[in-house]
Structure 1
């Protein structure tokens, strides 16, 4: 955890889903994509993970074109393969098919110069759960504020 720089967070994932197991996945990228990621030009907002043919892919992850790239620049929202161990892919696939989980990207970060994606097994929250977690967050904030002024 020492040499990690978070590039992008998916704040909506924590709001819309209840997160369970997390996994670290590598990304199969082209040269201009990693350069754009290092400049922080990546968005996870509408992205999701699907598994097909025994491989995990992230879809709709937006990486802006590299500004110094030429005709070999990358497509912005292409499907990118995730680099996971076979047993991790099987575990994710079983969780989605049998238990009804979804796989959501949580954050993208750089670790020792390599782009890594943190993904999580998640279940969707309904409106009541979202309101409850919002109330808890507000209460925690009020307690922090009260403690700050008390001392």
Structure 2
């Protein structure tokens, strides 16, 4: 059996990019049990309510839902347990100091396998106000309309 190569996305938190200004992103490993890995390999997880908290100079991922493995026995994991994140000490210290600032939080953006190992992409983020969300949505729609107009003009030009 050949080793997996590349990145296989399991779950993504699209709402995070809508609700927060992303300031900095980090890739980190996860400490998982065997049944959690098997459940993730089936492509089942949810990052919707997830957040990262730093306790005693260790990063912990809270509220990420990894459903129980269907073929698991009494050794199965609990679905919403907190999971330790593997980061360098310098990164943890930096995240800890930044997250102490008012309005800053650490949210998970994506959960994926990279070269056979489970990884999570986390971001240092600042919450958006309601008008910021509307502005972002308006810019996205304007960009989409401009792209449509450009492609329509190119089609007319070719014809």
Unaligned 5+ segments in structure 2 are 155-159
Choose 1 or 2 for highest CA Rg. 2
Q: Secondary structure at the match of 1:8?
A: strand
Count of residues in Structure 1 that have an aligned counterpart in Structure 2: 150
Aligned to 2:54: 51
Distance 1:15 1:114 in 2: 28
Q: In 1, are the aligned partners of 2:28 and 2:119 still within 8 Å (CA)? A: yes
Cα deviations by residue, 1:95-149 (Å, 9 ceiling, x for unpaired)? 0114642101010111011010000110000011000000000001111211222
Unaligned 5+ segments in structure 1 are none
Cα deviations by residue, 1:23-62 (Å, 9 ceiling, x for unpaired)? 1110000000011111111000001000101100010000
Q: Secondary structure at the match of 1:36?
A: helix
Q: Secondary structure at the match of 1:63?
A: coil
- Verify: 1:149 aligned to 2:152, yes or no: yes
The one of 82, 101, 104 equivalent to 1:101 is: 104
Aligned to 2:79: 76
- Verify: 1:138 aligned to 2:128, yes or no: no
